[in-house]
Amino acid sequence: MKSNTIHSISIIEIPKIVDDGGRGNLSVIENNSLPFNIERVYYLYDVPSDAYRGGHAHKDLQQFLLPLSGSFDVILKDGGNAKTVTLNKPNKGLLIVPGIWRELGNFSSGAVCLVLASDVYNEDDYIRDYEAFKNYKNV
Ligand code: TYD
């Protein structure tokens, strides 16, 4: 949605099932854990620490980013305000609403970013130019 701001972006905590016998943790995401139906799953890995991913906005797509391993920063911009969120807990993910510019960087060694998306891949849903994004947001 065009009018969304960075204030609509939230952290969703995925319940953690801690094993009594010291066998580690288990977290589960079901379709009703998120405010959208999961239509696509992809993941980023082997990202060099000086590389940036993202650098685009979506018109309609909703995404949930989860740091399955390691950590990375997500820079979020709505054309007016910006903020940076560090994701570093495998059970705390970031729900990004449509109409938000995002850049991912500062990946730790071995970081894996799981992305759950509300739709299949569609290049027409992308805004990949920041000036075009600002025009889209009317700022
Ligand atoms: P890109 O959008 O540049 O990745 P990121 O936002 O993480 O930096 O996508 C990289 C390439 O992968 C580009 O050619 C499009 C392709 N791609 C798909 O084919 N399907 C997908 O679901 C995604 C996310 C990307």
Nearest partner of 2 among 98, 69, 109, 118, judged by Cα:
98
Q: Which atom of ligand 1 is nearest to the CA of 126?
A: 2
Q: Percentage of the chain with pLDDT > 70?
A: 100
Distance (angstroms) between ligand 1 centre and the Cα of 76 equals: 18
Confidence at 43, pLDDT banded by 50, 70, 90: very high
Average pLDDT over residues 31-44: 96
Whether 1 and 137 have beta carbons less than 8 Å apart is answered as no
Please check the confidence at residue 117 and state whether its pLDDT lies above 90. Answer: yes
Domains observed in the chain: 6-136 (2.60.120.10)
Closest residue (by CA) to atom 18 of ligand 1? Answer: 121
The residues annotated as belonging to the active site are 56
DSSP state of 122: -
pLDDT at 1: 80
Q: What is the C-alpha to C-alpha distance for residues 112 and 68, in angstroms, rounded to an integer?
A: 5
- What the block records as the tokens of 30 is 């079901």
For 133, the enclosing helix (H) or strand (E) is helix 130-136
Q: What is the mean pLDDT of the chain?
A: 97
